[in-house]
Amino acid sequence: MTGFQPLKLFFVFLGGLLLLFVIAPLAGMFLETSPAEFFDTAMEKEVAGSIWLTLWTSMLATLIFALAAIPFSWILARKKFPLKRVISAIIDIPVVIPHSAAGIAILGFVARDTAVGRLGDHLGLSFVGTPAGIILAMAFVSIPFLVNAARDGFLAVPEKLEKAALNLGASPARVFFTVSLPLAWRSILSGLIMMWARGMSEFGAVVIVAYHPMITPVLIYERFGSFGLSYARPVAVVFICVCLVFFVFLRMLSTKYENADG
């Protein structure tokens, strides 16, 4: 045990360096922004509109695609089928490819001269330069977070409980909604939060599909390119504060229900 103390202190030191690496740039940005700049920026109509657009499009992207992602995650967790590993790898592709490339791929899929684009026009729905396009771009880059978290949650559910419910006469649908889903909900909720947060922070894919209307990451980039760091920094600080408020609230809410169940 005596030889463990120096190693433990060394690990703590490395952890401290890592935390400093994360905290220092953010702290510097906040310290460089005066309260007057912060509140003036927060009151700007363009900034407030972009933040609201970012929040609701990322939330809608999460909710819409969760309808398919959660059942699909159960399939990945419970069923054996050909090319399962390949399909799991495909799900992770949006995480590893450059997001500008993801934006180009999405644009090529939903542009007005494509089958999807023409179908959208026929239905009165355009994907380029609209919130619908923003939702698609956000969902594309963030869906792996939900699928992987939900799959891990379903894997943690004892399969014998599902089989017992089936043997007692419950239908597969009832087993899913009354056994599998409730027992995996913590992981699913964590995946939903991470998908929402990742979608909200997306820039590369969104800026190609829909530069306008501007979500906040695009607005930050636009102001930085046009006016420089001092003009973009307050927008970034305001947006980070809004994100932290929502993220902390959702995490606290999930922890509250977890403690109540525990």
Q: Is 96 helix (H, G, I), strand (E, B) or coil?
A: helix
Task: Give me the half-sphere count of Cα atoms (radius 13 Å) on the Cβ side of residue 159.
Answer: 6
Question: Which region holds residue 228: left if phi is over 0, alpha if psi is between -120 and 50, else beta?
Answer: left
SS3 content of the chain, % helix, strand, coil (to 5): 85, 0, 15
Complete domains list, the chain, with CATH: 41-261 (1.10.3720.10)
Closest by Cα among 213, 70, 63 to 139: 63
Extract the tokens encoding 253.
């809410």
Output the furthest CA–CA distance in the chain (Å, rounded). 74
Spans in the chain with pLDDT lower than 50: none
Q: What DSSP letter does each residue of 107-162 carry, written as one string?
A: HHHHSTTSHHHHHHHHTT---TTSHHHHHHHHHHHHHHHHHHHHHHHHHHS-HHHH
**Distance of alpha carbon 242 from alpha carbon 38, whole angstroms:** 12
Question: What pLDDT is recorded for position 122?
Answer: 87
**Distance of alpha carbon 206 from alpha carbon 137, whole angstroms:** 5
Question: What pLDDT is recorded for position 261?
Answer: 60
Question: What pLDDT is recorded for position 260?
Answer: 58
Residue with the two structure tokens 């999460």: 62
Contact between residue 126 and residue 132 where contact means Cβ atoms under 8 Å apart: yes
Question: What pLDDT is recorded for position 6?
Answer: 85
**Distance of alpha carbon 120 from alpha carbon 160, whole angstroms:** 45
Residue with the two structure tokens 């729905």: 125
Neighbours of 33 (CB within 10 A): 18
Question: What pLDDT is recorded for position 3?
Answer: 53
Question: What pLDDT is recorded for position 42?
Answer: 95
